Amino acid sequence: MEERDAHRRETGEGDGPGGRLGEQEETAAAPGVADRQEPGPVGEEGIPGPGDAAEPEKETSSSGLEDEEPGEGEGAAILEEVERLRQESEQWRQRALRMQADFENFRRRTRQEREEWSAAAAMKLLEQMLPVLDNLELALRTARDAQDVQSVLQGVEMVVRQFREVLQREGVEAIEAVGQPFDPTLHEAVVQESDPSRPPGTVIEELRKGYRYKDKVLRPAMVKVNG
């Protein structure tokens, strides 16, 4: 028995499931081990636990309402800008239509005024031509009953002179030709002859009178040129 007890003390057998009895006694005797405790849950005093976080408060505007999300504000601004641009484009379209209508009225008014001016100028010229026509008719009646050809000739010369005066008042003048150097802008050469008594390129005869209105040639003079 004594030998078996001594063997058990040396090997630690039979001292419990944890191994040697001496080690269990040292563990039980360690100071402060039994007093250590794991942190528990939140108590009744409201102290937050390690996993709890304070929820942030929502910001409110000065009116007490919650701020709008950024996406909604940007969308409203874009819609306002689109509406403003639409109204502006409509105003420009209406202005363009008014300008087009004014331009059409201006063209119609200008065309009408030009026609009226042309008609007034024609009426003025025709009014001056009526006395010439009266004198021509008188000359014809006189020529039928007259026995003197000289009187008929004088009457026709008077009518021609009157007609030239009417043309001169309107700015129409005869182009000088005979004795003048040939000018292709004023003269139309239809015949060429050689006359040693005159310089070459000089108009020696006028076959049909030419006329010009102020600075424009109405009709060039038909002439014979010295070659």
Query: Which has the closest alpha carbon to 166: 129, 124, 136, 139?
Result: 129
Phi, psi angle pair for 48, to nearest 5°? -65, 145
Other C-beta atoms within 10 Å of 69: how many?
9
The predicted pLDDT at position 170 comes to 86
Site of tokens 């040939």:
182
> Residues with Cβ < 8 Å from 181, sequence gap 6 or more?
201, 202, 203
Q: Are 182 and 204 in contact (CB under 8 A)?
A: no
- pLDDT-derived band at 100 (thresholds 50, 70, 90) equals very high
The residue type at 5:
D
Query: Which has the closest alpha carbon to 224: 185, 186, 196, 182?
Result: 182
Phi, psi angle pair for 35, to nearest 5°? -80, -15
199-209 pLDDT, tens digit each: 889 999 999 99
The dihedral sign for the CA sequence 19, 20, 23, 29: positive
Return the DSSP state at 52.
-
- pLDDT-derived band at 6 (thresholds 50, 70, 90) equals low
Q: Are 193 and 224 in contact (CB under 8 A)?
A: yes
Distance of alpha carbon 73 from alpha carbon 62, whole angstroms: 17
pLDDT over 90 at 39, yes or no: no
75-93 pLDDT, tens digit each: 888 998 899 999 999 999 9
pTM above 0.75, yes or no: no
The predicted pLDDT at position 9 comes to 60
Instruction: Identify the structural domains of the chain with CATH numbers, from first to last.
Output: 81-170 (3.90.20.20), 172-227 (2.30.22.10)
140-191 pLDDT, tens digit each: 888 877 777 888 888 888 888 998 998 888 889 999 999 899 999 999 999 8
Going by DSSP bridges, is the β-strand pair 211-213/172-174 parallel, antiparallel, or unpaired?
Answer: antiparallel
